[in-house]
Structure 1
């Protein structure tokens, strides 16, 4: 090959390689901004962009967080309870064998109603002692009267008179003690005064109410400490709540309590704070005693209670309910950012909801301290959420 032609071909080849290198670099530089822009969009998945036409179509309207007077509440749990005087445990004070009872759990009884008969041989001895003591008292009183007459005539010594008076006091005291033992045992004193002695005693209901516990059967021997029956008067139920110690300073007597019970959560009941305990329990709660506004036969002792205690209105930062959107178990609002040309950007920001009342809800920003000064979408928030999530899905598909 001619040397001149060989040099010419080498120059052509070098020029071709140079052009190819420049073209590759230019294409790479063109792609780099696209990649950076892609990364920028990936980072701003909480920002939605609307054109002016989309803005008007969605009827976007913005507002600001405002201080609204909302009724503050304290949430608490508890149970339906009864006063101690309305729950009675019944036993046989002197013990004995159960010879009769018709009680069943759930039965209603009246105060003074016969609920059981107890048999005990020891009852016979007590009645005998009573009758003997009664006779001794009668004799002692007659002797005292006789000694008194003799002392007026100075026939007997003063000492004998004093002994007679002392004997009357002793017998009276003994007779009174035996009478109370017989009453406690349930023995009929009227029949005993007529000379009728029985080895059985009656047990009567001390209050009206419902039988909740029956621990005996016919023929069973019961000791004085054994609980035979329990009767509950459900006409005066109350609510016992456990309130966390940090909420106690906001509580006052007379505050309204709204509550529901576990067996009927749809029905709301009302009560008022009656007593606030001054002791903090081990679980850092305080017992709060509440009286029902009216008695309700549907409530039962030990019903589980979920309650809200109204502590009065106070100013709180709030937004209209339609400004707050719920997504995947969290709450958000959209904050309007500065415009870029004809487009408007909105940033989705997480918030925590509080008290809701009359179409507005208390909000607390999560990690955004400027939210109370920002322009927040109060109409069209769900439209923004829909566009944001649709844009994310399209981006992932791409």
Structure 2
């Protein structure tokens, strides 16, 4: 015999031991009485029925992908478009490392950097001299601003510029920093190599937000809309994460007859890794409003769906209802139930056992 049979048998025996006669003289045939203390002991819970909007669940699969505008390519920027920008001195990050914005990734010996520093120092000296001559005074600030812009174009940060102004010491090695916080996906920089302006030294991606591309069959596409809830379940932990739909492709794949639906998910801490294949659910609000109740609140009695209502603290009534297809753990009730009635939504099998015992 199945485990379910023994579980039901145990519940019926326990109900018979705990509960008094369920059908006192004052109870009608479709009613039973259960003392309030027994209701608490058995964990029977109820809720007041109210109109609400149900959901339709579209189930499919999806692949985690990076967001394009959260990827950065770290490249040296030259001033004069020289054949060789410089030479890599030291590399401080490797593939897979988590780096922060402004963190030094590599130092490069760069003639452009040396020249830009010297020009900036000369512009400061010229500005001091020009203050004594009214004829040249208007031009000196513009010269200094141009020299400062060249330094910033190379990626020199403000504190390094302030140190250059204070000490007047020209440094040979340019520090190239990470433009964003994220993970190093690719590292091409190697100590000693010659690099040109525009060469990719690193590829860094911020994974705090990721997208999931799901494939939805064309018959389900009319129910989709931007902003709808998209859920994924992690296979290792069973954790469910929620996002929202941000894109629905206008094109159907001619081979699979599916449409790409893209959701965006917050991913901090890192749980969704690019390339993961996951089950996806899109929650589509059902049309119209009605009575939606938990699926576990509906039972079968005599081949018909029934629910149990609490009319008093110790009085429960059984009632036949008509229900639709369940979606997302909820079922729509089309007849037999009215707003404001108190419905048994947890451990209703105890109440059912009392009705069976009272027959």
**Aligned runs of 1:1-398 on 2, under 5 Å?**
72-94=56-78, 95-144=85-134, 161=135, 164=136, 166-168=138-140, 170-184=142-156, 188-193=160-165, 194-244=167-217, 246-260=219-233, 264=235, 267=238, 269-277=240-248, 279-280=250-251, 283=254, 286-292=259-265, 295=268, 297-313=270-286
* Deviating 4+ runs (over 4 angstroms): 184-187, 281-287, 293-296, 354-360
| Structure-1 separation of matches of 2:244 and 2:282 | 8
| Structure-1 separation of matches of 2:258 and 2:156 | 42
Question: Over aligned residues, Cα RMSD in angstroms?
Answer: 3.8
8 Å Cα contact 1:134-1:175 kept in structure 2: no
| Structure-2 separation of matches of 1:217 and 1:204 | 16
| Structure-1 separation of matches of 2:287 and 2:140 | 75
Instruction: Decide whether aligned partners of structure 1 residues 357 and 229 sit closer, same or farther in structure 2, where only a CA change above 3 A counts.
Output: closer
- Give how far 1:357 is off: 7.6
Instruction: Decide whether aligned partners of structure 1 residues 286 and 221 sit closer, same or farther in structure 2, where only a CA change above 3 A counts.
Output: farther
After superposition, what is the alpha-carbon deviation per residue over 1:288-312, rounded to whole angstroms, capped at 9, x for unaligned?
3323377453320222333232224
- Give how far 1:203 is off: 1.6
Unmatched 5+ stretches in structure 1: 1-68, 145-160, 316-353, 361-398
| Structure-2 separation of matches of 1:357 and 1:124 | 65
After superposition, what is the alpha-carbon deviation per residue over 1:82-130, rounded to whole angstroms, capped at 9, x for unaligned?
3344322212223321111132222222332222111122322222222
8 Å Cα contact 1:252-1:273 kept in structure 2: no
More helix by share: 1
| Structure-2 separation of matches of 1:300 and 1:289 | 16
Give 2:339's aligned residue.
none
Unmatched 5+ stretches in structure 2: 1-52, 79-84, 289-324, 332-359
SS at match of 2:208: helix
8 Å Cα contact 1:98-1:117 kept in structure 2: yes
SS at match of 1:216: coil
8 Å Cα contact 1:70-1:355 kept in structure 2: no
TM-score by length of 2: 0.54
Instruction: Decide whether aligned partners of structure 1 residues 175 and 140 sit closer, same or farther in structure 2, where only a CA change above 3 A counts.
Output: farther
Number of corresponding residues: 236
Instruction: Decide whether aligned partners of structure 1 residues 307 and 265 sit closer, same or farther in structure 2, where only a CA change above 3 A counts.
Output: farther
Give 2:347's aligned residue.
none
